């Protein structure tokens, strides 16, 4: 119990930083994944429209 009492102040000081870092990581991962999917969808849409324009001429 004495060891826990000596470690707790350090954990209490660093724990909020760790939680914020994890949340930031998850947020950025989500944003980048969404961007990647949007780029894929846009390139598919552009390739479909280019092929339909080629067929209409």
Q: Name the token pair of 44.
A: 């598919």
Alpha carbons 24 and 32: distance in angstroms, whole number: 12
Beta strands in the chain (DSSP E): none
Alpha carbons 48 and 41: distance in angstroms, whole number: 11
pLDDT tens for each residue of 19-32? 999 999 999 999 99
- pLDDT for res 46: 94
More confident residue, 6 or 54: 6
pTM of the model: 0.69
pLDDT above 60: residue 57: no
């Amino acid at each position: 119990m004495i060891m826990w009492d000596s470690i707790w102040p350090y954990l209490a000081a660093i724990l909020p930083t760790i939680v914020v870092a994890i949340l930031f990581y998850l947020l950025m991962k989500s944003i980048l994944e969404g961007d990647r999917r949007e780029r894929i969808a846009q390139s598919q849409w552009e390739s479909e429209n280019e092929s339909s324009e080629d067929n209409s001429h």
